[in-house]
Amino acid sequence: MDLIQNNITPADGEQSVRTYCCTYYKSKMLGIETNGYLGVTNKRVIFQAISASNAGNSVIQSEVPVADVSGISSYKGIYFSILHLLGALLLTSVFASITSALLGLIAFTIESFTAFQVVGWLVAVGALVGTFLVPVKSIWRPVLAGVSMASFIVLGGGNIGFSLFGGIDLSGSWQFILAALVLIYVLVCAFWYARRPTFSLEVNSKGGASTPINIASTTGIGLLSISAEKSLNAEPAQDAEIMLKELGALILDIQMLGDYGIAKWTRQ
Protein backbone atom coordinates (compact mmCIF):
# COMPACT_ATOMS: atom_id res chain seq x y z
CA MET A 1 0.00 0.00 0.00
CA ASP A 2 1.22 3.50 -0.90
CA LEU A 3 0.46 5.95 1.93
CA ILE A 4 0.60 9.01 -0.34
CA GLN A 5 -1.88 7.54 -2.81
CA ASN A 6 -4.27 6.14 -0.20
CA ASN A 7 -4.22 7.80 3.25
CA ILE A 8 -1.95 10.86 3.26
CA THR A 9 -2.49 14.19 1.50
CA PRO A 10 0.76 14.94 -0.34
CA ALA A 11 2.54 18.29 -0.12
CA ASP A 12 3.33 20.25 -3.25
CA GLY A 13 5.69 18.17 -5.37
CA GLU A 14 5.75 15.30 -2.91
CA GLN A 15 6.11 11.78 -4.27
CA SER A 16 6.32 8.37 -2.65
CA VAL A 17 9.65 6.54 -2.73
CA ARG A 18 9.01 3.45 -0.57
CA THR A 19 6.24 2.14 1.70
CA TYR A 20 6.81 -0.72 4.15
CA CYS A 21 4.24 -2.82 5.99
CA CYS A 22 6.56 -2.95 8.97
CA THR A 23 4.47 -3.74 12.03
CA TYR A 24 1.25 -5.29 13.26
CA TYR A 25 -0.89 -4.21 16.22
CA LYS A 26 -3.40 -6.50 17.93
CA SER A 27 -5.20 -5.76 21.19
CA LYS A 28 -8.51 -7.41 22.05
CA MET A 29 -8.83 -5.14 25.09
CA LEU A 30 -8.61 -1.98 22.95
CA GLY A 31 -10.32 -3.46 19.90
CA ILE A 32 -7.32 -2.79 17.67
CA GLU A 33 -6.07 -5.10 14.95
CA THR A 34 -4.22 -3.48 12.09
CA ASN A 35 -1.00 -3.18 10.13
CA GLY A 36 1.35 -0.24 10.55
CA TYR A 37 2.97 1.32 7.48
CA LEU A 38 6.13 3.39 7.24
CA GLY A 39 6.25 5.54 4.13
CA VAL A 40 9.27 7.44 2.83
CA THR A 41 8.70 10.26 0.37
CA ASN A 42 11.05 12.84 -1.10
CA LYS A 43 9.96 15.19 1.71
CA ARG A 44 8.84 13.16 4.74
CA VAL A 45 9.10 9.91 6.69
CA ILE A 46 5.57 8.98 7.80
CA PHE A 47 4.25 6.23 10.05
CA GLN A 48 0.54 5.43 10.10
CA ALA A 49 -1.70 2.68 11.51
CA ILE A 50 -5.49 2.84 11.20
CA SER A 51 -7.88 0.38 12.82
CA ALA A 52 -11.64 0.41 12.21
CA SER A 53 -14.10 -0.78 14.88
CA ASN A 54 -17.71 -0.27 15.95
CA ALA A 55 -16.55 2.51 18.28
CA GLY A 56 -14.83 4.39 15.43
CA ASN A 57 -11.41 4.55 13.87
CA SER A 58 -8.21 4.40 15.90
CA VAL A 59 -5.32 6.23 14.26
CA ILE A 60 -1.63 6.28 15.12
CA GLN A 61 0.32 8.70 12.94
CA SER A 62 3.66 10.48 13.21
CA GLU A 63 6.05 12.03 10.72
CA VAL A 64 9.32 13.89 10.36
CA PRO A 65 10.87 15.83 7.44
CA VAL A 66 13.33 13.54 5.71
CA ALA A 67 15.98 16.26 5.85
CA ASP A 68 15.72 16.35 9.68
CA VAL A 69 16.28 12.63 10.28
CA SER A 70 19.44 12.25 12.34
CA GLY A 71 19.41 8.63 13.45
CA ILE A 72 17.51 5.35 13.44
CA SER A 73 17.37 2.61 16.05
CA SER A 74 15.34 -0.57 15.77
CA TYR A 75 14.72 -3.96 17.34
CA LYS A 76 13.06 -7.15 16.10
CA GLY A 77 12.92 -10.08 18.48
CA ILE A 78 10.89 -11.57 21.33
CA TYR A 79 9.79 -10.67 24.86
CA PHE A 80 8.24 -12.70 27.69
CA SER A 81 4.60 -11.84 28.44
CA ILE A 82 3.30 -12.65 31.91
CA LEU A 83 -0.25 -11.94 30.71
CA HIS A 84 -0.01 -14.52 27.92
CA LEU A 85 1.47 -17.05 30.36
CA LEU A 86 -1.34 -16.54 32.87
CA GLY A 87 -3.93 -16.66 30.09
CA ALA A 88 -2.55 -19.97 28.78
CA LEU A 89 -2.44 -21.51 32.26
CA LEU A 90 -5.96 -20.31 33.08
CA LEU A 91 -7.45 -21.70 29.86
CA THR A 92 -5.55 -24.96 30.37
CA SER A 93 -6.93 -25.25 33.92
CA VAL A 94 -10.50 -24.70 32.68
CA PHE A 95 -10.25 -27.41 30.01
CA ALA A 96 -8.45 -29.78 32.37
CA SER A 97 -11.22 -29.34 34.95
CA ILE A 98 -13.90 -29.96 32.34
CA THR A 99 -12.08 -33.10 31.19
CA SER A 100 -11.78 -34.39 34.76
CA ALA A 101 -15.48 -33.77 35.39
CA LEU A 102 -16.58 -35.52 32.19
CA LEU A 103 -14.35 -38.56 32.72
CA GLY A 104 -15.45 -38.75 36.35
CA LEU A 105 -19.07 -38.71 35.20
CA ILE A 106 -18.32 -41.52 32.75
CA ALA A 107 -16.67 -43.53 35.52
CA PHE A 108 -19.79 -43.25 37.68
CA THR A 109 -22.30 -43.94 34.90
CA ILE A 110 -20.73 -47.04 33.34
CA GLU A 111 -20.16 -50.29 35.17
CA SER A 112 -17.38 -51.57 32.94
CA PHE A 113 -13.92 -50.67 34.16
CA THR A 114 -12.49 -51.68 30.78
CA ALA A 115 -14.77 -49.23 28.95
CA PHE A 116 -13.73 -46.48 31.33
CA GLN A 117 -10.05 -47.24 30.67
CA VAL A 118 -10.58 -47.24 26.89
CA VAL A 119 -12.27 -43.83 26.97
CA GLY A 120 -9.67 -42.39 29.33
CA TRP A 121 -6.71 -43.63 27.31
CA LEU A 122 -8.24 -42.42 24.03
CA VAL A 123 -8.66 -38.93 25.45
CA ALA A 124 -5.21 -38.88 27.11
CA VAL A 125 -3.26 -40.15 24.12
CA GLY A 126 -5.40 -38.34 21.55
CA ALA A 127 -4.96 -34.97 23.26
CA LEU A 128 -1.23 -35.53 23.68
CA VAL A 129 -0.80 -36.40 20.00
CA GLY A 130 -2.98 -33.43 19.10
CA THR A 131 -0.46 -31.05 20.67
CA PHE A 132 1.96 -31.86 17.84
CA LEU A 133 -0.67 -31.07 15.20
CA VAL A 134 -1.08 -27.42 16.20
CA PRO A 135 1.52 -24.63 15.80
CA VAL A 136 4.17 -24.30 18.51
CA LYS A 137 3.01 -20.77 19.30
CA SER A 138 -0.67 -21.75 19.55
CA ILE A 139 -2.41 -21.50 22.91
CA TRP A 140 -4.11 -24.81 22.12
CA ARG A 141 -0.87 -26.74 22.57
CA PRO A 142 -0.74 -26.26 26.40
CA VAL A 143 -4.54 -26.67 26.53
CA LEU A 144 -4.45 -30.07 24.79
CA ALA A 145 -1.51 -31.11 26.96
CA GLY A 146 -3.56 -30.12 30.01
CA VAL A 147 -6.47 -32.27 28.82
CA SER A 148 -4.07 -35.22 28.47
CA MET A 149 -2.67 -34.59 31.96
CA ALA A 150 -6.18 -34.47 33.48
CA SER A 151 -7.07 -37.74 31.73
CA PHE A 152 -4.03 -39.52 33.18
CA ILE A 153 -4.92 -38.23 36.67
CA VAL A 154 -8.49 -39.51 36.35
CA LEU A 155 -7.22 -42.86 35.04
CA GLY A 156 -4.92 -43.22 38.04
CA GLY A 157 -7.69 -42.24 40.44
CA GLY A 158 -10.07 -44.61 38.69
CA ASN A 159 -7.65 -47.48 39.07
CA ILE A 160 -7.28 -46.81 42.79
CA GLY A 161 -11.06 -46.47 43.21
CA PHE A 162 -11.82 -49.69 41.38
CA SER A 163 -9.03 -51.40 43.31
CA LEU A 164 -10.50 -50.43 46.66
CA PHE A 165 -14.05 -51.44 45.79
CA GLY A 166 -13.58 -54.15 43.19
CA GLY A 167 -10.28 -55.81 43.96
CA ILE A 168 -8.42 -54.51 40.88
CA ASP A 169 -4.60 -54.40 41.12
CA LEU A 170 -3.22 -51.12 42.48
CA SER A 171 -0.38 -51.07 39.93
CA GLY A 172 -2.48 -48.90 37.61
CA SER A 173 -1.69 -45.85 39.76
CA TRP A 174 1.49 -45.32 37.65
CA GLN A 175 -0.70 -43.09 35.46
CA PHE A 176 0.04 -40.38 38.03
CA ILE A 177 3.69 -40.54 36.96
CA LEU A 178 2.62 -39.98 33.35
CA ALA A 179 0.45 -37.08 34.50
CA ALA A 180 3.45 -35.50 36.24
CA LEU A 181 5.55 -35.79 33.08
CA VAL A 182 2.77 -34.27 30.98
CA LEU A 183 2.47 -31.45 33.53
CA ILE A 184 6.09 -30.53 32.80
CA TYR A 185 5.21 -30.55 29.10
CA VAL A 186 2.22 -28.27 29.83
CA LEU A 187 4.47 -25.74 31.55
CA VAL A 188 7.00 -25.84 28.69
CA CYS A 189 4.23 -25.23 26.13
CA ALA A 190 2.77 -22.37 28.20
CA PHE A 191 6.17 -20.70 28.61
CA TRP A 192 6.86 -21.07 24.90
CA TYR A 193 3.48 -19.51 24.07
CA ALA A 194 4.35 -16.58 26.36
CA ARG A 195 7.40 -15.75 24.22
CA ARG A 196 5.87 -13.12 21.96
CA PRO A 197 7.35 -11.43 18.87
CA THR A 198 8.00 -7.72 19.18
CA PHE A 199 9.26 -4.87 17.03
CA SER A 200 10.38 -1.31 17.70
CA LEU A 201 11.64 1.58 15.62
CA GLU A 202 12.80 5.05 16.60
CA VAL A 203 13.46 7.70 13.98
CA ASN A 204 15.28 10.59 15.65
CA SER A 205 15.23 14.21 14.56
CA LYS A 206 18.00 16.80 14.57
CA GLY A 207 15.88 18.85 16.97
CA GLY A 208 17.60 17.80 20.20
CA ALA A 209 16.29 14.64 21.85
CA SER A 210 13.17 14.60 19.70
CA THR A 211 11.93 11.21 18.48
CA PRO A 212 8.99 12.06 16.23
CA ILE A 213 8.48 8.47 15.04
CA ASN A 214 8.47 5.89 17.81
CA ILE A 215 7.01 2.44 17.11
CA ALA A 216 7.03 1.07 20.63
CA SER A 217 7.45 -2.54 21.68
CA THR A 218 6.48 -4.12 24.96
CA THR A 219 9.58 -4.57 27.09
CA GLY A 220 10.49 -6.50 30.21
CA ILE A 221 7.80 -8.94 31.35
CA GLY A 222 5.14 -7.40 29.14
CA LEU A 223 2.71 -5.96 31.70
CA LEU A 224 0.08 -3.49 30.51
CA SER A 225 1.03 0.14 30.82
CA ILE A 226 -1.22 2.93 32.03
CA SER A 227 -1.14 4.53 28.60
CA ALA A 228 -3.28 2.76 25.98
CA GLU A 229 -0.71 3.49 23.30
CA LYS A 230 2.12 2.00 25.36
CA SER A 231 0.06 -1.11 26.09
CA LEU A 232 0.12 -1.96 22.38
CA ASN A 233 2.85 -4.36 21.47
CA ALA A 234 4.11 -3.80 17.94
CA GLU A 235 4.79 -7.13 16.27
CA PRO A 236 6.94 -7.43 13.13
CA ALA A 237 5.00 -7.55 9.86
CA GLN A 238 5.93 -8.83 6.43
CA ASP A 239 8.29 -6.00 5.46
CA ALA A 240 9.97 -5.54 8.86
CA GLU A 241 13.31 -7.15 8.04
CA ILE A 242 13.51 -5.55 4.59
CA MET A 243 12.82 -2.14 6.10
CA LEU A 244 15.47 -2.58 8.79
CA LYS A 245 18.04 -3.37 6.10
CA GLU A 246 17.08 -0.56 3.71
CA LEU A 247 15.77 2.38 5.72
CA GLY A 248 19.08 3.92 6.75
CA ALA A 249 20.53 3.77 3.24
CA LEU A 250 17.26 5.01 1.71
CA ILE A 251 17.07 8.13 3.89
CA LEU A 252 20.79 8.84 3.55
CA ASP A 253 20.59 8.64 -0.26
CA ILE A 254 17.65 11.05 -0.33
CA GLN A 255 19.46 13.47 1.99
CA MET A 256 22.81 13.31 0.19
CA LEU A 257 21.88 12.64 -3.45
CA GLY A 258 18.53 14.37 -3.78
CA ASP A 259 16.70 13.55 -7.02
CA TYR A 260 19.32 10.97 -8.02
CA GLY A 261 18.79 9.10 -4.74
CA ILE A 262 15.01 9.25 -5.19
CA ALA A 263 15.29 7.90 -8.75
CA LYS A 264 17.63 5.14 -7.58
CA TRP A 265 15.21 3.80 -4.96
CA THR A 266 12.14 4.31 -7.13
CA ARG A 267 13.61 2.08 -9.83
CA GLN A 268 14.44 -0.75 -7.37
Query: What does the domain layout of the chain look like in residue ranges?
Result: 3-79+197-267, 82-193
The dihedrals phi and psi of 153, each to the nearest 5 degrees, come to: -65, -45
Whose CA is closest to 233, among 90, 84, 87, 88?
84
Contact 19, 28 (CB under 8 A): no
- C-alpha triplet 195, 197, 202: angle, nearest 5°: 135
Contact, 71 vs 247, CB < 8 A?
Answer: no
* pTM of the complete model beyond 0.85: no
59/45 Cα distance (integer angstroms): 17
Q: Provide the edge-to-edge strand list for the sheet that holds 32-41.
A: 56-65, 44-53, 32-41, 16-27, 234-236
As a whole number of angstroms, the distance between CA 24 and CA 240 comes to 10
pLDDT digits (tens, 9 = 90+) for 131-174: 999 998 899 999 999 999 999 988 887 554 444 444 444 445 67
How many whole angstroms separate alpha carbon 201 and alpha carbon 74? Answer: 4
CATH topology of domain 3-79+197-267: PH-domain like (2.30.29)
**Is 48 in contact with 215 (CB distance < 8 Å)?**
no
pLDDT one-digit tens code per residue, 15-64: 999 999 999 887 666 667 788 999 999 999 999 988 766 666 778 888 99
